[in-house]
Structure 1
Amino acid sequence: MTKLIIQIPCLNEAEVLPDTLAKLPRSLPGVDVIEYLIIDDGSSDDTSGVARRWGVHHIVRHRGNRGLAEAFRNGIDKCLAEGANIIVNTDADGQYAGEDIAQIVAPVVAGEADIVIGDRSVADNAHFSPFKRLLQRLGSTVVRTLSATDITDAVSGFRAISRDAAQRINITTDFSYTTDMLIQAGRKRLAILSVPIRTNAATRPSRLFKSIPRFIMNTGVTITRAYTTFNALRVFVLLGSALTLIGLMPMARFLWFFIIGQGDGHIQSLVIGGALLTVGVLVTTLGILADLIATNRKLMEASMLKLRRIEEKLEAADRASDQAQASITASATQTIHSKAS
């Protein structure tokens, strides 16, 4: 049986949530069960109450606002615990067309992809300003290069994820999961596809960031951290090599003057060059240590994946045992009632 859970991170979405829920699919080809999950990230309105009244199957509520990345991470954990084979993440504000969930789920159902990203066609999307189009295209190009994937809309939150991929991805950022997830997925060689989707006009300003400069800064930090985490040796060795080459230049200058007999007046070149060479060697050494830490991280993630799967098997066995016990109890009760009558 294939179960799909559609998760929606929410922050004060009581007004728009009903319309979003109404447009979610009730059935899809290749999917046996569809359930909905709301992650209420510390809303001050009645978001959770609205979700309950609309029959949402699962609700995760944070007492305070923890941010989109934490909401996404907790939603994924809940979906996995509820036995989801496929997880879809979408927004509550109706930016993404609920009818297009079928488009992003189909490649996962067919076994063609581990992760499918809804491509908003940023280059010619009428709902985006020219500056936002340029910014999105530039950011996607950077992420596509660093993650070695062929994704044209890196920050799209409309995505479908297989169970195996969800188990392998460990979101570490506190800002937004989108770019962190793609860089991890690319590094772990998961199959990622982009599928064109439709979008609706924004109903309100983004709650993820308060200004474009802040968004650029936070996204840049997230991308740099994620890439360095999985490519530590390359980053530090390149940085160390650059510092070493720069350090060789003043030292070569000093050597030239020393050869022609004028070295006494250029000791500062020797000092600067020596300092840069020392820093370059230290940075390269840090790269080796960081690579060892990254290797240890891979081992830990592999262990975590095995533990998750063992826990799932034990939980499935417990559920089967409980169901069997309930069936036996019901049968015994029926037999007693039959004899009594």
Structure 2
Amino acid sequence: MTKLIIQIPCYNEEETLGATLAALPRQLPGIDCIEWLVIDDGSRDRTVAVAKASGVHHIVRLPHNQGLARAFMAGLEAALRAGADIIVNTDADNQYCAEDIPALIQPILQGEVDIVIGARPIWQTKHFSPIKKLLQNLGSWVVRLASNTDIPDAPSGFRAYSRRAALQINVFNRYTYTLETIIQAGQKGIAMTSVPIRTNYVARPSRLVKSIPSYVQRSILTIFRIFMIYQPMRFFVLLGSIPFGLGFLLGTRWLIFLLMGAERTRIPSLILAAILILIGVQIWIFGLVADLMAANRKLVEDIQQRMRRLDLDPPQPSPQVVSKGREARPTGQRRRMRSLYTEDDPLDTPFND
């Protein structure tokens, strides 16, 4: 049975949540069960009451406002615990057209990819300002560069995850999950694609983008941080190449003047060149250390993913192999028989019989 859970992070969304829930599908081809999940990120209005009145199946309540990224991860965890095979994330302001959910989940149902991002017609969206359109496309270009993917609309919150992909997602940033999850998935080799979607007119201003300068600043900091986490060597090599290159040029200039027999020794230029070269080399060393730490982080993430699978996935019964002419013993009996011939050490006992 294939279960789809549609999750909606909310913060003071009583005015629009009802219309958003009313537009959600009840049945879809290829899906046996559809459930709704609302994440209340410390709302002070009637968001939870509206969700209950609309028949929401699951409500996750955070004690106080923790930000969109934390609410998204809380919903993802709850959806996995509820047995979701596919998780669709949408916004509570009804800006995304719920009729596009079948197209959004189709590539996952067909087994082609594990993440599908809904691509909005940004340039054709009338209620987007020219500056917002430019920033949306610029941010998507930077994310494509960082993630080695071809996702055209990285900030889109209308997206679908397979269970396998959701188990691998970790969001470190508290501001937004949209950019980080794409870069993270690209670095982990999770298959992604995008499908065109439609949008509805939203009258109220975005709560995430309070001002264009703050949005640009937060987005740049998020991208830089993700670069340092997932591509530390590349980041620090590029960063260290700037002072190293300047120092190399100054040193070359000093050497040329020296060979030409210039009267002035230009010692300050030589000292500055040496300092810049040393700074560049130091930054490269930081990159090497960060790269070694990244290898350790990957091991920790693999362990975390394995633990999440053990915690969230239902146990699968292992088939008992019966040899010819022998009767299969119960697991406990086989374990007792083995203890007669081995030391009583848990490390000598396999995890699975």
Q: Normalising by structure 2, what TM-score?
A: 0.86
Counterpart of 2:301? Answer: 301
Counterpart of 2:160? Answer: 160
Give, as a single letter, the amino acid of the residue that structure 2 aligns with 1:268.
P
Q: Per-residue deviation at 1:290? A: 0.6
Contact 2:114 2:192 in 1 (8 A): yes
Out of 179-188 and 307-316, give the one that drifted further.
307-316
Contact 1:254 1:266 in 2 (8 A): yes
| In the alignment, structure 1 residue 69 sits paired with structure 2 residue 69 | yes
Q: Per-residue deviation at 1:64? A: 1.3
Which runs of 5 or more residues in structure 1 are unaligned?
A: 318-341
Counterpart of 1:324? Answer: none
Counterpart of 2:227? Answer: 227
Contact 2:258 2:265 in 1 (8 A): no
Counterpart of 1:125? Answer: 125
After TM superposition, the structure 1 = structure 2 runs for residues 136-175 of structure 1, keeping only pairs within 5 Å, are 136-175=136-175
Taking a change above 3 Å as real, the CA distance of residues 224 and 263 of structure 1, as seen in their structure-2 partners, is farther
Q: Per-residue deviation at 1:113? A: 1.4
Distance 2:117 2:267 in 1: 58
Contact 1:13 1:92 in 2 (8 A): yes
SS in 2 for 1:243: helix
Counterpart of 2:101? Answer: 101
Specify which structure has the higher proportion of helix.
1
Counterpart of 1:246? Answer: 246
Q: Per-residue deviation at 1:264? A: 5.4
Give, as a single letter, the amino acid of the residue that structure 2 aligns with 1:215.
Y
- Root-mean-square deviation (Å): 1.6
Out of 200-209 and 307-316, give the one that drifted further.
307-316
**Residue by residue, what CA displacement relative to the aligned partner does 1:295-341 show, whole Å, maximum 9, x if unpaired?**
11111111111111112346789xxxxxxxxxxxxxxxxxxxxxxxx
Distance 2:113 2:244 in 1: 43
Q: Per-residue deviation at 1:189? A: 1.4
How many residue pairs get aligned? The number is: 317
Counterpart of 1:275? Answer: 275
Taking a change above 3 Å as real, the CA distance of residues 33 and 290 of structure 1, as seen in their structure-2 partners, is same
**Residue by residue, what CA displacement relative to the aligned partner does 1:247-298 show, whole Å, maximum 9, x if unpaired?**
1122222223333444754110111011011111110100100101111111
Distance 1:70 1:290 in 2: 26
Distance 2:275 2:28 in 1: 64
Which runs of 5 or more residues in structure 2 are unaligned?
A: 318-353
Out of 245-254 and 164-173, give the one that drifted further.
245-254
Q: Normalising by structure 1, what TM-score?
A: 0.89
Distance 1:92 1:260 in 2: 71
Distance 2:265 2:300 in 1: 55
Contact 1:123 1:137 in 2 (8 A): no
